[in-house]
């Protein structure tokens, strides 16, 4: 940037800055500022104070969100447990038993055989 251009730009900016300062000039006169001060203080005293119920109210939203998350997690956990139980039952029904049928009936046959043997021995 040449010096000439820089000086020209600075001069332009100074002019704009002067305009901005006029445009944004704060109100003059102590009476205005005393009035604003009084309004600020009046606002402080008229505004409702923050009591414990307001604090509670501030906590209400995060507490509700946390409760919703907990409920959702519990629901998911219960659903998964139910699904696992369902799957186990279903698989148990479909899975063929590995034990031979003979094993299942053998105690009954043994009992009959013993009874027959006892009968033969006692009837002699």
Partner 1 sequence: MQSDAAKMLTERDHVIAAQKGSESAFAELVRLHHRRAYAVARAIVISHEDAEDAVQEGFLHAYRALDRFRSDQPFGAWLNRIVANAALDLVRRRKVRDADELPETVALPFRDPGEADELRRRLGDALTHLTDRQRSVIVLHDVEGYTHGEIGSMLGIPEGTARSDLHHARAALRRLLKDIRSNS
Question: Which residues in 50-79 contact partner 1 (CB under 8 A)?
Answer: 50
- Three-state DSSP at 4 gives helix
Using CA atoms, how far residue 109 sits from 61, 98, 102, 112, in Å, is 72, 20, 9, 5
- Three-state DSSP at 29 gives coil
Round to whole Å and give the CA distance between 13 and 21: 12
Place of tokens 């699904």: 83
Place of tokens 């332009």: 12
Question: Which residues in 8-27 contact partner 1 (CB under 8 A)?
Answer: 9, 12-13, 15-17, 19-24, 26-27
In this complex, which beta carbon is closest to partner 1, that of residue 22 or of residue 124? 22
In this complex, which beta carbon is closest to partner 1, that of residue 24 or of residue 61? 24
Q: Of the candidates 36, 60, 66, 109, which one interacts with partner 1 according to CB under 8 A? A: 36
Binding footprint of partner 1 on the chain (CB under 8 A): 9, 12-13, 15-17, 19-24, 26-27, 33, 36-37, 39-41, 43-45, 47, 50
């Amino acid at each position: 940037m040449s010096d000439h251009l820089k000086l020209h730009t600075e001069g332009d900016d100074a002019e704009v800055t002067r305009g901005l300062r006029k445009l944004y000039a704060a109100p003059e006169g102590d009476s205005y500022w005393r009035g604003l001060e009084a309004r600020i203080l009046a606002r402080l005293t008229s505004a409702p104070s923050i009591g414990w119920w307001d604090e509670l109210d501030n906590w209400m939203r995060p507490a509700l969100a946390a409760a919703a998350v907990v409920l959702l997690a519990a629901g998911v956990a219960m659903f998964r447990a139910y699904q696992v139980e369902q799957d186990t039952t279903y698989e148990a029904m479909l899975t063929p038993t590995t034990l031979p049928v003979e094993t299942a009936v053998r105690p009954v046959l043994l009992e009959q055989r013993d009874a027959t043997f006892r009968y033969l021995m006692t009837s002699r």
